Amino acid sequence: MRKLISLISIFLLVGCSLEPTPIYNFELELGLEQDGNGYYHLPMDAQGASNQSLYKFAVDTNNPNIQLVHWVSDTYFDVDYFGYTESAPIINGSSYTYDDGMAYTMFGPHMEQIGDTVAVLVGYTDSHTFECYVLNFEIILD
């Protein structure tokens, strides 16, 4: 019995770390104007012959490990594809962080969406600590 207790004690001391799990600041770096109600404003500017305005979103995970970051919005646009209409998201769904902890994605609303408010959710699960980080924000398309 004494050997069993000793083995369990050694296992717990060696197998379990007493260090706290690191928590990283997860921050938006959109570069957009934010109003008093917390909404960001994206000035719509069609580029070339397209009726789509492209913008690059960024988040800083402040995490030294490369992470897979997921992006989702509540707004889609319809695409006619070989006689079929499909809904496509206006944001790329995922990206990886660089060595500096930054992750980027492209956001592409269409001109007919001017005046809409788009909700965006971005987040990741730390691949080392399994902590979840989530941010949400809303953008008014001006």
The residues, any chain, with a CB within 8 Å of residue 26's CB and separated by 6 or more, are: 59, 60, 61, 62, 123, 124, 133, 134, 135
Domains annotated on the chain, with CATH: 26-141 (2.60.40)
pLDDT tens profile 24-46: 999 999 999 999 999 999 999 87
What separation in angstroms does the CA of 4 have from each of 1, 7, 10, 121?
5, 5, 10, 49
Return the bridge partners of 138, or none.
119
Q: How confident is the model at residue 11 (pLDDT cuts 50, 70, 90)?
A: very low
pLDDT, mean over the chain? 87
The answer to whether 69 and 96 have CB atoms below 8 angstroms apart is: yes
For residue 31, which amino acid is it? G
pLDDT tens profile 42-95: 999 876 667 889 999 999 999 999 999 999 999 999 988 898 999 999 999 999
The string of DSSP codes covering 35-62 is -TTS-EEE-----TT-SB--EEEEEE--
Rounded to two decimals, the pTM is 0.80
pLDDT tens profile 110-141: 999 999 999 999 999 999 889 999 999 999 99
